[in-house]
Structure 1
Amino acid sequence: MIRSAVTIALVPQIKSGPWIFWEDLEKGMEKAAALEFDGVELFTPSSDALEPDRLRRLLEKHQLQLAAVGTGAGKVLHGMTLTDPDPEIRKKAISFISDMISFGAQFGAPAIIGSMQGNVLASGNREETLDCLAQGLEMLGKKAESEGVFLIYEPLNRYETNLLNTLESGSAFLEKNRLGNVKLLADLFHMNIEEDNLAQSIREFGTYIGHVHFADSNRKPMGFGHTDMAPIAKALKEIDYSGYVSAEAFPFPNPDAAAEQTIKAFQRFFRH
């Protein structure tokens, strides 16, 4: 069964980003539970920013699952990416993500690699940069496998990365480099920019999809833009997707209203 999730960000430096709830973990989880979300997706400054026992108690209290953990703070706070020309920085990026994998795995949740993938720099070599990405994902995929979870790689739109922008290019990269424990994140906002037909891409590359980010064409909650969600939902059902559809969207017009709009849209497309 496809499950719902809502994002909670605990990193003040990214407060302008596409996350529904902010700063107050317990309050965010309380609101998510009241709206009957199945899980929460967390963005934390580091793997040790939250005491695991506290998080476990809150998840149990509110009957929520941990859907996934983001790693973007590694770039936002520390400037680390898997494709940095400096091998020492790449090593630190792998260590940061590895720790996040271990943190999430305690709750059966995968880690997401989005902005920490980096870019091909103007002075860089594309093939060498992609090799660095492949090496990083291989190491981290094996780390995730040893922890009993998979790893999520997110193709971003062209304005955020010049590496891999579509499900097609992402899946080809996973195949070429035999990254069997790495799955793709189908972010509907990014896909609206890069994909010719979102539903068709999901059907064609559905076996690689491990997570879905639920946001409209303008990155507001689903229903506030022009995304045609019905065929996308149908495609996800046709590929027997059973992961999370998680609201990584701007808290428009405010966090509470954004969460309510999201769960209404989720119920409309995935429960009725």
Structure 2
Amino acid sequence: MNLLLWGNQIDDKLFPTLELIKEIGFDGVEVPIFNTSPEHWFNFRKKLDDLGLACETDTICSPHHHLISSDPSVRKASVAYLKSCLDCSLVLGATRLMGPIHSALSVFSGSPATREEWQWGLEGIREVADYAESLDITLGLEYLNRFELYLTSCTDELIRFVDEANHPACKIMFDTFHANIEEKNIGDAIRKAGDRISFIQLSENDRSTPGKGNVDWQGVFEAIRDIKYDGWLSLEAFSPKLPVANIWRKMFDSEEQLMRDGLSFVKANI
């Protein structure tokens, strides 16, 4: 279960939520890393261990952490930020750090990515992937839709980026929400990405309960079986508690009901 459903303040106050997530039947959680102090995560790791919940991590990059900035100091700061996120991931016991980390969220130039921006992204990700590999962590790069990102905004572009990065610690994290906007066929996109995919987020078209909207879930689950994927499936849903997601209305009864219905839906289809 992705903890962004409860916003971006991830701390000890979420311990009762972790207990509920375990009780409902989830095996693990996605923890968003915005606090980059490793010490912040010591108690959180202990709670996860006590509950027997596995953990993988995500982050997003602000305009100050933009790997394709024309400013070398910003690119340097971006690499340092992502390395600090990896340090926190190590504390949490994660084996993956994921997200659209090759560039900053909602930062646009007004034009398609240039060759120079593409190369800056590759250079930065390779350096971060080297550090990740030293910690036995894999990067899961994500593309976002055209309204949120421009370096990669579809599966083909992300495949090209990951293939050109050509690093064993650099894979793809596939998100059905963005695919539902950008792909002609979500299942075909999953099949094309194939074994580059190391993690899958199941997210409805309106970011509410998976299975309650118009994502082609039959095609998604068929493709997952076709590529013989046996990794994590994570439920990703948002609420007004996460302003950056531009969710201005609540589209489910409660977080608990969303989790119960979402998990039942996935188990019935996979």
TM tier, shorter chain? 0.7 to 0.9
Q: Give, in whole Å, the separation in 2 of the partners of 1:176 and 1:44.
A: 27
Partner of 1:58: 47
Partner of 2:230: 242
Q: Give CA deviations for 1:204-227 in whole Å, capped at 9, x if unaligned.
A: 211111111111122212122111
Structure 1 stretch displaced more, 146-155 or 118-127? 118-127
Amino acid in structure 2 at the alignment position of 1:209: I
Amino acid in structure 1 at the alignment position of 2:117: T
Instruction: Tell me by how many angstroms 1:186 deviates.
Output: 0.7
> Normalising by the residue count of structure 1, what TM-score does the alignment of the two structures yield?
0.85
Partner of 1:28: 17
2:47 is the alignment partner of 1:88: no
Partner of 1:158: 146
Instruction: Tell me by how many angstroms 1:23 deviates.
Output: 7.8
SS in 2 for 1:24: helix
Q: Give, in whole Å, the separation in 1 of the partners of 2:33 and 2:136.
A: 21
2:3 is the alignment partner of 1:7: yes
2:219 is the alignment partner of 1:231: yes
Q: Stretches of 4+ moved more than 4 A in 1? A: none
The alpha-carbon distance between structure 1 residues 209 and 189, as it changes in their structure 2 partners (threshold 3 A), is: same
CA RMSD of aligned residues (A): 2.3
Q: Percent identity?
A: 22
Partner of 2:246: none
> Normalising by the residue count of structure 2, what TM-score does the alignment of the two structures yield?
0.85
Partner of 1:100: 85
Q: Gapped runs of 5+ residues in structure 2? A: 240-250
SS in 1 for 2:172: strand
Partner of 1:16: none
CA contact (8 A) 1:120 1:163 kept: no
Q: Give, in whole Å, the separation in 2 of the partners of 1:266 and 1:7.
A: 18
Q: Give CA deviations for 1:24-56 in whole Å, capped at 9, x if unaligned.
A: 321221111011101011113222165443123
Match of 2:160 among 155, 167, 172: 172
Partner of 1:260: 260
CA contact (8 A) 2:99 2:141 kept: yes
Instruction: Tell me by how many angstroms 1:138 deviates.
Output: 0.5
The alpha-carbon distance between structure 1 residues 177 and 116, as it changes in their structure 2 partners (threshold 3 A), is: closer
Q: Gapped runs of 5+ residues in structure 1? A: 13-20
Partner of 1:204: 192
Amino acid in structure 1 at the alignment position of 2:208: K
Q: Give CA deviations for 1:162-202 in whole Å, capped at 9, x if unaligned.
A: 11112222112222232332111110000001111111111
Q: Give, in whole Å, the separation in 2 of the partners of 1:157 and 1:87.
A: 26
Question: Aligned runs of 1:114-193 on 2, under 5 Å?
Answer: 114=100, 117-118=103-104, 119=107, 121-122=109-110, 126-193=114-181
Structure 1 stretch displaced more, 30-39 or 254-263? 254-263
Instruction: Tell me by how many angstroms 1:263 deviates.
Output: 1.0
Instruction: Tell me by how many angstroms 1:105 deviates.
Output: 2.9
